[in-house]
A and B are shown apart, each in its own frame.
Chain A
């Protein structure tokens, strides 16, 4: 194998990467600006003012400029692997060199969009602990080179971790493979429906205006006339159709993203592969794993579906941000627990979670009441309308049930060397983590909490803080002492203090 093949000589991106960079730049630009421009109607005003020909000329100039900059970026981009250090030189005006040691890599991803397949090129991206965005991206290199680089980096990482028993060539052990039914259920239960609704929100009003104008201009459609005459029937039907369409889009998105999802273990690394058009491969280091979250959306609770989010260094990320979170979709309860135990050896999934102090429910209700009451009062006085009083009254009536739901779902349990914290309102999220991963402990008490002898405990992991609000003060202190002992001595404490077990669940 030559140096060019194994990445040890200076390498350039594939020429096709120019196309990829250009397309991605244009798509990003459109994605960032289109809702604002179209939603506000500014686009139409701009076209009318400038004229189509001038607009095309501006577009062509901008495209030529973007192409020139992309070509320049391509020419200045090169990379190589020096032993266990990946060096990347890039930059348009300012030339920078990024060096990443293999042992620092916490996630490595290979991605192949459908249009890259005929050219056999892939996108390789690397994350390191503490990085907010993807640290290094090689946007378009030959698949053989990417696989060789990936293998060499994995090998260097494992040697760095002192794991000689599991070389990169170890046969992968399949842990989970998604079925079509599970994938469809994941799509149905996904929060993508709400995100989609929020994304198309700005377009709905202009669209409704256009449809209304058109209907007023044209002859009424005979078969639609009965619906137009019965709004009590047409409105629910329209909403139902919209919801159905969104659900279908959500299921389609799940199929695109997680088609043939497979999770394997290879030595100290977890590897997932998925995607219909855009084939993606992500590698997660077991050593960098901080916490596992079992997530159930509201619909997921109805359908009994879970997904897991593996949290690494670098703070919380949006649940399904492409290329960042390591997400395992389409699970039932048993599989979610089985995989959680595989990710966090020694974990004992618990059902007997204990609630926090019930005064938390009162505090939440009072907090909601104060915010809603004051806002409603201010709006009623400002607008001079009695409707605001009615609306505020209705919202205030909902504060106690909402507070009760939040209190009921907030629960925790302590295992031999793990902590489990569950929270939510309609959906729920259960965080499981080894106590030894805690970086800092904070005890917090407001004046109100001091009177009730309760306290809030915040445990900070490298992936972000986990909050345990409103524990009995003695319980909170015992928990803090227990966690600190575990972190500082790296030994298991003699026993879980009695004050922290479910038997000591709070009674006011």
Chain B
């Protein structure tokens, strides 16, 4: 199949910053909040069950409990804010994913480089109706792209589109993954 690239103007390179990105599903922020809070629970339980006297310093439970009470929600809150800032975009020839709060990363993966695609979802993600789309390249882990926080319908559409590009089949113009971000 001949290479099709109708949207591109050779006299002016397509600019990444002009691509409007679509936010990931709103459920993703709630998922990250829950995931983070659940991660802090074991530490809280251990601290709560510590006998007052033992081989550890006496001040440990006194200092540890307030510290956890501050760090846990703070960490979870930051996760929530970070998740709300995540966004993705699909162009004719590449997939774009933005993530990060203090360090913001925008990763662009040319679809021609994708070797294979997989969708993954853990139990907690399924509870929130979320799926991760992993796109693998020959560039190793630093070249792969993990698109987290999308709904299963969006993931399926994106996967089909990416696979159609890998196969070099007809472009799936009917697919508009931006409509189903949840």
Contact = CB atoms under 8 A, between A and B. Distances in A.
Nearest to B11: A494
Given A440-B113, A444-B103, A493-B10, A480 B139 contact: no
B138 interface: yes
Interface stretch (A12-20, A157-165, A456-464): A456-464
A465 B8 CA distance: 27
A478 B18 CA distance: 12
B101 to A, nearest CB: 9
Interface stretch (A111-119, A240-248, A380-388, A445-453): A445-453
B16 interface: yes
B109 interface: yes
B70 interface: no
A487 B142 contact: no
A414 to B, nearest CB: 13
Counting chain A CB atoms within 10 Å of each CB, the highest count among B13, B144, B145 belongs to B13
Contacts of A481: 13-16
Contact of A488 (B104, B107, B112, B140): B112
B87 to A, nearest CB: 14
B91 to A, nearest CB: 9
Contact of A442 (B17, B102, B108, B113): B108
B43 to A, nearest CB: 24
Interface string A455-488: 0001011101100000000000110111011011
A433 interface: no
A464 B94 contact: no
A485 B3 CA distance: 13
B138 A446 contact: no
Contacts of B106: 442-444
Interface in B97-127: 100, 102-110, 112-113
Contacts of B102: 446-447
A129 B137 CA distance: 12
Nearest to B140: A315
Q: Which of the four size classes fits the interface of chain A?
A: 35 or more
A314 B137 CA distance: 11
Counting chain A CB atoms within 10 Å of each CB, the highest count among B8, B106, B112 belongs to B106
Contact of A485 (B13, B140, B145): B13
A497 interface: yes
A458 B142 contact: yes
B109 A440 contact: yes
A130 B138 contact: yes
B137 A484 contact: no
A497 to B, nearest CB: 7
Contact of B137 (A315, A439, A442, A478): A439
B75 interface: no
A487 B8 CA distance: 13
Nearest to A465: B142
Contacts of A477: 15-17
Counting chain B CB atoms within 10 Å of each CB, the highest count among A441, A444, A480, A491 belongs to A441
Given A130-B138, A488-B112, A490-B3, A440 B13 contact: no
Interface in A287-317: 313-315
A484 B142 contact: no
A489 interface: yes
Contacts of B112: 487-488
A291 to B, nearest CB: 12
A446 B3 contact: no
Nearest to A130: B138
Counting chain A CB atoms within 10 Å of each CB, the highest count among B10, B108, B140 belongs to B140
Interface in A489-504: 489-491, 493-494, 497
B143 interface: yes
Interface of A: 129-130, 313-315, 438-447, 450, 458, 460-462, 464-465, 477-478, 480-482, 484-485, 487-491, 493-494, 497
Given A130-B140, A484-B16, 14 more contacts: A130-B138, A314-B140, A440-B142, A442-B106, A443-B16, A445-B103, A460-B143, A462-B137, A464-B140, A480-B108, A484-B94, A485-B14, A491-B10, A493-B13
